[in-house]
C-alpha cells in the first residue's frame, strides 16, 4: 500500500482517463493521499513493523516533492505587485451586500466574480463602487478594478450541446501603474462525481476554448481568474496550466465551503508570478473566496 500510494503521488498521469475519467478524479484529490500515509503509519506502529515504517518513506518523499513547496509562507511581494480576489458568489446567495463587503475587506486591486445573477448585480455594483470605480460584466461573470478597464469583450467558451443562453467568460485590459494587463475571468462548466466516476467532458471542452483564447492574447502579461471547476493537478486543465503559472505557495481549498477539499477557484498568470494564494472567510456562497498576491514582470 505504501508503494502504491507513492506511485500514485509520483505518477498520477499513469492512471488513464478512460470511462469515468479516473485519472482526473485522482488528480482532483491528489493532496489527500497524504491521509493514507497517516493510516498506514498507525498500522505500521500497531504491527511494530520496521519494514512497514521504512516503506512509508516512499509516499512521504513523494508527497513532499509534490506538495511540500506549497507549505511555506508566500513572498510578501515587491512594488510591482497586485492583490486579486476570485469568488464564485453563488446564484442563491442571500447576502450579496455582505459578500461584497467581505471581499473588499481584503483590499485587493481586482475582484473577479462568477455566478452573477441580474437581481444581485446592482447590489454588488453599489457596494463595490466606492473603492472599485471600474467594472465590467459579461453574462454571469464580472471584474471590479481600482484601475481603468478597456477593450472588454465576451469570450466564447460555451461547449457544444448547450443550447440555452450561456455566457461565462470575458477579457479586458487593466491599465495598472505597472503597465497594461490582459485580465480573463471565466467560469467553466461544472463537473459531477458519481458512482460511475467523473463527468467532466464539457468542462474539458470549455478549458480548450479558454486556452486557445489565452494563447492568442497579444498582451504579454495575462491574469486568469475563475471558477475553473478543476484543480491545477487535473489534466483537464492542461490547456491552461501548460501556458500559465499557478500559485507557488498555499493550498487554499475553496470547495465546498463547509468542508473544502479542493481548490477549484483559481488564479493563474503569464509573465507574472502568483506568489501565494489563500482563502478568505466564508460568505453566503457554497465556495470560499480566494485571494492571491501576484508579482509582475
Residues with Cβ within 8 Å of residue 16, at least 6 apart in sequence: 22, 23
Residue 63 has pLDDT above 70, yes or no: yes
Residue 207 has pLDDT above 70, yes or no: yes
Mean pLDDT of the chain: 95
Task: Encode pLDDT of 257-279 as tens digits.
Answer: 999 999 999 999 999 999 999 99
Q: What is the pTM of this model?
A: 0.94
Residue 29 has pLDDT above 90, yes or no: yes
What are the angstrom distances between the C-alpha of 77 and each of 111, 153, 209, 294? 19, 30, 32, 7
Residue 254 has pLDDT above 90, yes or no: yes
Residue 74 has pLDDT above 90, yes or no: no
Residues with Cβ within 8 Å of residue 95, at least 6 apart in sequence: 283, 284
Residue 296 cell numbers, joined: 509582475
Residue 12 in contact with residue 30, Cβ under 8 Å?
A: yes
Residue 136 has pLDDT above 70, yes or no: yes
Amino acid at each position: 500500500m505504501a508503494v502504491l500510494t507513492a506511485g500514485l503521488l509520483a505518477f498520477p498521469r499513469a492512471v488513464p482517463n478512460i470511462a469515468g475519467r479516473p485519472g482526473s478524479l485522482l488528480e482532483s484529490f491528489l493532496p489527500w493521499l497524504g491521509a493514507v500515509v497517516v493510516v498506514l503509519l498507525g498500522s505500521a506502529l500497531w504491527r511494530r513493523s520496521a519494514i512497514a515504517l521504512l516503506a512509508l518513506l516512499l509516499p512521504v518523499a513523494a508527497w513532499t516533492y509534490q506538495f511540500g513547496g506549497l507549505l511555506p509562507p508566500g513572498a510578501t511581494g515587491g512594488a510591482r505587485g497586485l492583490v486579486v480576489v476570485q469568488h464564485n458568489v453563488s446564484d442563491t446567495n442571500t447576502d450579496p451586500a455582505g459578500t461584497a463587503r467581505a471581499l473588499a475587506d481584503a483590499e485587493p486591486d481586482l475582484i473577479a466574480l462568477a455566478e452573477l445573477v441580474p437581481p444581485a448585480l446592482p447590489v454588488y455594483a453599489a457596494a463595490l463602487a466606492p473603492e472599485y470605480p471600474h467594472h465590467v460584466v459579461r453574462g454571469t461573470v464580472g471584474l471590479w478594478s481600482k484601475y481603468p478597464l478597456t477593450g472588454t469583450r465576451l469570450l466564447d467558451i460555451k461547449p457544444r450541446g448547450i443550447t440555452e443562453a450561456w455566457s461565462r467568460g470575458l477579457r479586458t485590459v487593466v491599465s495598472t501603474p505597472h503597465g497594461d494587463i490582459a485580465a480573463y475571468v471565466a467560469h467553466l462548466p461544472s463537473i459531477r462525481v458519481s458512482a460511475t466516476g467523473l463527468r467532466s467532458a464539457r468542462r474539458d471542452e470549455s478549458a480548450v476554448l479558454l486556452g486557445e483564447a489565452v494563447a492568442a492574447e497579444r498582451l504579454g502579461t495575462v491574469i486568469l481568474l475563475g471558477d475553473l471547476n478543476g484543480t491545477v493537478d487535473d489534466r483537464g486543465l492542461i490547456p491552461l496550466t501548460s501556458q500559465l503559472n499557478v500559485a507557488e505557495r498555499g493550498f487554499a481549498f475553496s470547495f465546498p465551503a463547509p468542508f473544502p477539499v479542493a481548490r477549484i477557484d483559481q488564479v493563474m498568470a503569464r509573465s507574472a508570478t502568483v506568489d501565494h494564494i489563500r482563502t478568505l472567510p466564508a460568505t453566503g456562497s457554497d465556495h470560499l473566496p480566494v485571494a492571491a498576491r501576484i508579482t509582475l514582470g
